[in-house]
């Protein structure tokens, strides 16, 4: 397996995360639409999992031997595309075809056009159930795969998230880790104003999950926590990752609700790229 690269230092990973951030703002500016805030908040988590935890390889054809990542918050897919480009799963130049006619880089994940993806998401709330299906399969086939699912905080408004939380808890799906990108904002405003989901940690605990709460941009803390998740044998785990929407681009961090779903202009892109050097 090419991955995980356990020897990779967090210093080197941080450099790669920054490069992925540059790719995210570039592809969104080129597309002229999309979701920068939630892509920039999730990228560190996505990179850590793909580089240092998940077993996968472009050369491995047997899917049962590879760990699974489901992006339930489909609008954050530019972050996943950037990670794929970083790992040479897709050509870097293809990133600029995002959201354009004929591109496999659809505005939201399309599993048929890009078979690398494990689910077609974008209608929020469904990806966690799909991830649960992969985890059920791993249990039935005894593959030893671990399944990761990235969900959004706004996404936790969806009833289906809690249906899946209940069933994964019921089935004690220890092979499933949910990473909750808690960036505090959704389209219509701050999460606690739109639909307050607190106390979030207690909710997951009540459904039978082992819970962690971390800084979603601190690679050391993240690494330590994901190791603990792999050691858990009795319960599914949720990592509530406190993140900053638009992380790395100051004008986005300052106006996080606005930058949920607006692409930077060419001028804004230049400012962002300078900050992300």
Q: Which chain residues interact with other proteins by CB under 8 A?
A: 63-64, 68, 70, 110-112, 118-123, 125-138, 140-141, 159-160, 163-164, 166-167, 170-171
Which contiguous run of DSSP H or E holds residue 177? strand 176-182
Q: Min. distance of Cβ 27 from other proteins in angstroms?
A: 23
Nearest residue (CB) to other proteins, 141 versus 227: 141
Nearer to other proteins, 20 or 68 (CB): 68
Which two three-digit tokens encode residue 264?
């930077």
User: CA gyration radius for the chain?
Assistant: 17
Per DSSP bridges, beta strands 189-190 and 185-186 are: antiparallel
Residue 181 · residue 42 · CB < 8 Å: yes
Q: Least distance in Å: CB of 259 to other proteins?
A: 26
Contact 96, 177 (CB under 8 A): no
Give least dist CB 167 to other proteins, A.
6
Q: Are 57 and 22 in contact (CB under 8 A)?
A: no
Say which residue the tokens 């090419």 belong to: 2
> What whole-number distance in Å separates Cα of residue 167 and Cα of residue 178?
14
Nearer to other proteins, 107 or 248 (CB): 107
What's the min distance (Å) between Cβ of 134 and other proteins? 5
Q: CB of residue 106 vs other proteins: minimum separation in angstroms?
A: 11
CB of 139 to other proteins, least distance (A): 9
For residues 225 and 228, give the distance between their C-alpha atoms in angstroms, rounded to a whole number.
5
Q: In whole angstroms, how close is the CB of 173 to other proteins at the nearest point?
A: 11
For the chain, the first-to-last Cα distance in angstroms comes to 31
Q: Is the bond preceding 199 in cis, omega lying within 30 degrees of 0?
A: yes
Find the shortest distance in angstroms from Cβ 204 to other proteins.
Answer: 16
Query: Cα-Cα-Cα-Cα dihedral of 41, 43, 46, 52, to 10°?
Result: -120
Nearer to other proteins, 11 or 102 (CB): 102
State which residue, 101 or 112, has the beta carbon closest to other proteins: 112
Residue 130 or 239 having the CB closest to other proteins: 130
3-class SS at 20? helix
| Six-digit token string for 270 | 């230049």
Cβ proximity to other proteins: between 89 and 136 the closer is 136
Strand partners, 212: 239
- Of 101 and 140, CB closest to other proteins: 140
């Amino acid at each position: 397996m090419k991955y995980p690269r356990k020897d990779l230092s967090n210093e080197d990973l941080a450099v790669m995360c920054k490069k992925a951030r540059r790719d995210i703002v570039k592809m969104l500016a080129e597309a002229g639409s999309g979701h920068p805030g939630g892509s920039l908040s999730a990228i560190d988590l996505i990179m850590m999992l793909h580089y240092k935890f998940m077993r996968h390889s472009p050369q491995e054809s047997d899917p049962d031997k590879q760990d699974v990542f489901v992006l339930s918050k489909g609008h954050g897919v530019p972050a996943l595309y950037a990670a794929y480009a970083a790992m040479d799963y897709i050509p870097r130049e293809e990133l600029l075809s995002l959201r354009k006619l004929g591109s496999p880089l659809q505005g939201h994940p399309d599993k048929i056009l890009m078979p690398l993806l494990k689910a077609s998401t974008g209608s929020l709330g469904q990806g966690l159930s799909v991830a649960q299906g992969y985890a059920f399969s791993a249990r039935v086939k005894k593959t030893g795969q671990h399944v990761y699912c990235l969900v959004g905080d706004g996404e936790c408004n969806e009833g289906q998230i809690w249906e899946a939380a209940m069933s994964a808890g019921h089935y004690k799906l220890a092979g499933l880790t949910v990473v909750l990108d808690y960036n505090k904002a959704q389209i219509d405003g701050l999460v606690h104003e739109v639909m307050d989901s607190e106390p979030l940690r207690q909710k997951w605990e009540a459904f039978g999950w082992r819970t962690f709460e971390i800084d979603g941009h601190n690679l050391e803390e993240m690494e330590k926590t994901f190791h603990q998740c792999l050691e858990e044998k009795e319960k599914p785990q949720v990592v509530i990752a406190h993140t900053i929407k638009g992380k790395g681009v100051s004008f986005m961090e300052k106006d996080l609700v606005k930058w949920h779903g607006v692409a930077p202009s060419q001028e804004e892109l230049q400012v962002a790229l300078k900050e992300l050097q």
